[in-house]
Structure 1
Amino acid sequence: MATTPSRRPGVRLVQRVSSTRGFAKVAPHVVPALDRAVHRLTRGKVLLSAQMLPGVILTARGARSGLPRRTPLACMPEGPTGKGAGGGEDSVGSWILIGSNFGRTDHPAWTANLLAHPDAEINWRGRDIPVTARLLAGAERDAVWRALLAFWPPYATYQARVEREIRLFRIVRR
């Protein structure tokens, strides 16, 4: 399993705040905009939200338009064998992307983009990496979901708010 962010100072407070309905209403408009701005200003070296939870910038082709769409996303890095992140950035073998949409009703648009066009690119710690995405299902999804809840418990609150199953994607280097 990946290193749990909750061991860092202030993370428990962030987890409580991020589980509120107010956060779910405001965050989708504020967090990605701040992430994009800081990421651009630092030339890909800093992702603001990644100070609490690991994150990537996903570039995927739009499901209908085919145009590149850049989306800052939280992720759960996995080690080279898919068993959790152990070392530095080169030891990450795959990443789990979570279509929580902050516990809002609809699936986020980026998930439809990956379903239509699984070959994409992520920016991870300032490096562009070509990846392929795969939607997780069944026992594999269940196992990843358990690891994800240990990694960032607020995802349970997001799932409890919606009737849809939150989509989980494993992305691997191409």
Structure 2
Amino acid sequence: MHDLAMLEGKKVLLVDDEPDILDMLSEELEMCELYRARDFESAKQIMEKERFDCVVLDIMGVQGYELLQIATSFKIPAVMLTAHALSPENFIRSIRSGAHCYVPKDKIIDICFFVWDAIRAHKQQEKEPSQWFEKLKSFFKKKFGRNWTEAHDPNRKPEKPPGS
């Protein structure tokens, strides 16, 4: 079980080009110390000046992958948020690029859980995806197809090639 009290006072940067999404995120994460940015340059400047416990990045519209690169260089756990870029390819790219998790905007109501999980996993120096993927597995299966997790489950250990 997760303890959302852990989010109290945590410093979180929210980046999205849609003001209504920023407002929804702000409402859900009201217990945190929030910073908001609507574009790449603003987000980059804020990340260079402040230290954050977590960043929530939109993929489209704000150069999310470039911001993810900056966040990972500062060792800030990142939650990727998307609507238009919801695909297995973007999922894999996000995780391989260092995002803690990849969250569809349909699940914004659960953003506290995803931010909590990113901060917790970062503190414990977990290298593998944790609870967030289990929470979204059925959603991804519905969106991407039944066999999707066979090839894309970040918790799945790669098989050793024959003869190794």
TM-score, normalising length from structure 1? Answer: 0.30
- Structure with a larger share of its residues in helix: 2
From the two aligned structures, give the one with the greater strand fraction: 1
